[in-house]
Each structure stands twice: as structure tokens, then as C-alpha cells.
Amino acid sequence: MSELHKFLFEGLPVRGLLVRLTDSWQDILKRRAQNQETGAYPEPVRHLLGEMTAAAVLMQANIQFEGALVLQLHGQGPLQLAVVEVQSDLRLRAMAKTNGSVSPGMRFDEMANQDNLGRCAITLDPVGRRPGQQPYQGVVSLYDDQKQPLPRFSDVLAHYMLQSEQLDTTLVLAANDQVAAGLLIQRLPMAGQANLAGPQILAEEDAIGRSEDYNRIAILANSLSADELLQLAPTQVLHRLFWQEQVRYFAPDPAQHSPRFVCSCSRERVSAMIRSLGQEEAQSILAERNLIEVGCDFCGLQYRYDAVDAAQLFANGPTPQPPSSSALQ
């Protein structure tokens, strides 16, 4: 069962999250492998998409955003696109598209950041978004401040969080065909009315990267190997890393939602999308193919419309607007 674990360090401005996706991650891969048109993802793509899925769950749980968090990788290379969407109740889905051959063992930068042209986007789409209201989106390149390609996807997100939230963050991500897992350590701001130190001391203490406590814990977190993260139980991971620290651990609450695969596609949403194309375009597709077929890249479900189905779509009133969420359908 997929689980999310939370913990903090007593008396220190540092908190952590650990996610372990099992059934939900396996469901994503199984649906893709069963797609007769595409087949399974290449191994490097599977592992990168697993890391992205674990990271998106960590980010959503960390900020507790009321809406959808969408993590997108726009690649420059054989990996064209990878998308993970996580709702506030931890429903998730993920997909990737390639436009070239992905060889075994291909590195992250080789897949997605050739010529430093790849980018990563994080979008927050709130529940009940008002007409005209735009989702918040942040975009970051896949290289560091010296224009050097970042070797791992976790480095990209840590760089983004440092730029956007002004908070030091350490991410350790790993995935195979059974498990996608991630560990997040974040330094919290110390300024506040409860602090007894003077303003100057607080400013110095709160400077990015200056927390000795955070740096020590980050070094410990980065010592975790991919095999340990994938194979050890969450409590074993925490003991292995932080046995000398005072860690307050919060076991997953059975009453709370756990990460799980759920796709939001539906025939109604696909019908709205077809109506938004217009009757003339729909008839053109039918004349060429005798069938309008739309496949969901997330769950693999195929929606088919023949001439009778299409006629019914345009006999039921005015053309509606396509559904906002998306862009992802």
C-alpha cells in the first residue's frame, strides 16, 4: 500500500516527509504496458517518471494546496514530455511521451536537457477557480546558476524550491518497476514573534544555507542510497539516517487519504473536447477515418465515436467550453 510519512526534528527548524508508492505506481506502469499502441515505457523513462511522481506527492503534501499540483517536464531530447498531477487528497496520475529512442542507462540530461533547452514547470490549479483566474505556474531550467546541466531531477526541484520559496530543500528520489519513493528535508524560517533573539541575530540565523542543523541533517539524508530508499521500510530509513537525532514521527493516519492512482478522464469531458473542435472539424475526421478515437495518455482508456455518436454530440445544444483541467487531457 502506498504511504506518506511525516516527521520533524525536535527543537530544530527542520521538517521532513517520506513517500513510498507501491500499488499506485505499479498501476500506472501496468496500464501503460497494456496499451497495444505504445507498449511499456523504456526503463530510463519509467524510473524518471517514478521519481517525478514521488516528488509531486511530496510537494503537494508539503504545501497542502487545495487543488491540483501539476509537475511537468518539457524535455529537449528523446523525452518530449512527462506530467504528474496530484490532487489535495493525494489522488494522482502520471504519463510521459517520447519522440526518439531512449537507450538503456540513458542519463537524465541526455533524455531531457540536450543543449540546456529542457525546462520544468510546477503549476498550482486551485479548486473552484473563478472565470478568468489563471493557475499559478513557476518554470525553472534544468541547469544551475553556472549554466551547468543538473545531473538529477531531484537537483532541479531543489533548485526551484530555493529560488521560489527561499527555503533550503533536500530531495532524495528513486524508482524501479515496483516502488517509487522519495525523501524531502526542508529548513523552516526561524523568524517570528516567539524568537527571543534580536532582529540582527535572526536575520543572520535565517540566511539561506546558514543553518548548521539543517546542513547536518541534509548531509545525512544525502547519504541514503537508492536501494535503501526503495527496499527499507520508512521507519527503518529514518532510524538508519537519524538515529542520533530527536525525531518526532507521525505514523500515517488510516482516516486520511493515502496516495492512489485515479484518472479524472471521462466520456463527458472527451465529448466536451470534441464539441469544442466544432462540427465541421469532427465531420472531417469522420470522413477520413470513419471514427473519432481519443485515448487518455494517463490511464490508457480509449474513447470512440462513430457518425451516430458525433451527430448526437452536436444535436444537444450550443458548443460548451472545454474543461479547464485541462490541458492534461
pLDDT digits over 88-103, tens only? 999 999 999 998 889 9
Closest CA to 267 of 235, 205, 313: 313
SS3 label, residue 241: helix
pLDDT of residue 39: 86
SS3 label, residue 254: coil
- Tell me which of 205, 227, 261 is where a domain ends: 261
Residue 245, domain extent = 3-261
Q: State yes or no: pLDDT of 325 exceeds 80.
A: no
Higher per-residue pLDDT: 320 or 292: 292
Per-chain mean pLDDT for the chain: 85
| 316: confidence class by pLDDT, cuts 50, 70, 90 | low
pTM: 0.83
Alpha helix ranges (H) inside the chain: 23-33, 43-63, 108-112, 153-164, 199-205, 212-222, 226-231, 234-242, 267-277, 279-289, 307-313
**H or E segment to which residue 73 belongs:** strand 67-74
Q: Is the domain of 254 the same as that of 273? A: no
Residue type at position 283: Q
CATH number assigned to the domain comprising residue 172:
3.55.30.10
Q: State yes or no: pLDDT of 118 exceeds 60.
A: yes
- Tell me which of 229, 246, 261 is where a domain ends: 261
Q: In whole angstroms, give the CA distance from residue 122 to residue 103.
A: 27
Encode pLDDT of 217-255 as tens digits.
Answer: 999 999 999 999 999 999 999 999 999 999 999 988 776
Q: Is the domain of 158 the same as that of 237? A: yes
